[in-house]
Amino acid sequence: MQWIEQEIELAKHEGVTHQENLPFLLLPEKPNGQAIMLIHGFSSSPKEMSLLGTELFRHNFTVYGVRLPGHGTTPEDLATRRAEEWYATIERGYQSLLAMNFEISAVGLSTGALLTLKLALKHPLEKIILLSPFLQLQHFLAPFAGPLSYLIPYQKKTILEAEAPFYYHLRPLKGIAQINSLCKQLSSKLKNIKAPSLTLASTGDKTIAKGSAAKVYQQLGGCQKQFYCYGNDVPHVLTTVGNPQLQDVLQRCIKFFET
């Protein structure tokens, strides 16, 4: 699989040093013909999607965990990246899996969900799962991230020591401006996305605007779509051990892909 080796080498060249921050490809012994792209969120890394990837692999899905440029390196690196670079990485993965004759689906978390939607607008996908998707961030200053970045380059975020290798404690506002750009690109086009979809969100999400995930779900086109909202005990990131409902999330994802 020369293409995944190239992606790994590119990540290392750009400064990724931790093994779990590298992109990954999981190939089961008895593949079911389905490949699923996993797209992590802003200021995190492929590690964020690894538990879901392992579960999908156990069910004989081929799994590609994307690493978005600027992630798994440094906040300073992320501040220089554009949404077009993030999407170009996903496009390369899609084309590589297509060349292997897989039917392709995608799962995106947060900003990864935005990129999943952009992929679904450009290419036919078997299914998509949107985890904590949004069209608006919760912070009232988020819409002004671009101009504010010249005054306040980074937003500080408290993270646990165990998460320090995989998440940035400084979030570049220039990167948040790129997220805003993605939201604007997608807001009027969601009705054109017809792929069967599952959207999962929570009322405990303190990152995105209240009701934003439901709004994404409502605007999606097509009739094969599902929505489920967890309670206040569930955080923005649905795919890690910090979510008390992690096992339920994994089971819902597996069931959606196997049905």
pLDDT in tens, 160-198: 888 999 999 999 999 999 999 999 999 999 999 999 999
pLDDT at position 1 over 80:
no
Tell me how far apart the alpha carbons of residues 92 and 73 are, in angstroms, rounded to a whole number.
20
Closest C-alpha among 35, 79, 29, 41 to residue 61: 35
Q: What percent of the chain has pLDDT over 70?
A: 100
Domains and CATH numbers, the chain: 2-258 (3.40.50.1820)
Instruction: At 49, list the tokens.
Output: 């999607």
Average of per-residue pLDDT values in the chain: 96
Closest C-alpha among 104, 114, 112 to residue 49: 112
pLDDT at position 211 over 90:
yes
**3-class DSSP assignment, residue 228:** strand
Give 67's DSSP letter.
-
According to the model, what pLDDT value does residue 140 have?
Answer: 87
